[in-house]
Amino acid sequence: MQIIWHLLSALAGLASLVCWVIVLIEMFRDELWKGLVGLLCGFYMLYYCLFELEHDYKWPLLLGVFGGGAISAGLAAMAR
């Protein structure tokens, strides 16, 4: 059963990573300094996602970036 939890955790982490990269690309397209700050500071990425991101899939991306990481951590903890 632990293998299933680890696989689900890895899948959620991968989904989070993909969403994070999409948001980071949008930040760099907007301005270079926003991309650099977003790369170094997660709080700015949250601010950017909530208030500045203009994307057709804004809310699914936001949930993917932050919710996917939380789900991945929770599933990894369940596997122990």
The string of pLDDT tens digits covering residues 23-74 is: 999 999 999 999 999 999 989 999 999 999 998 999 999 999 999 999 999 9
- What phi, psi does 56 have (nearest 5°)? -60, -30
pLDDT at 38: 93
Total domains in the chain come to: 1
What domain range is 33 assigned to? 2-78
Distance in angstroms (rounded) separating the CA atoms of residues 78 and 5: 7
DSSP collapsed to 3 states, 17-75: HHHHHHHHHHHHHHCHHHHHHHHHCHHHHHHHHHHHCCCCCHHHHHHHHHHHHHHHHHH
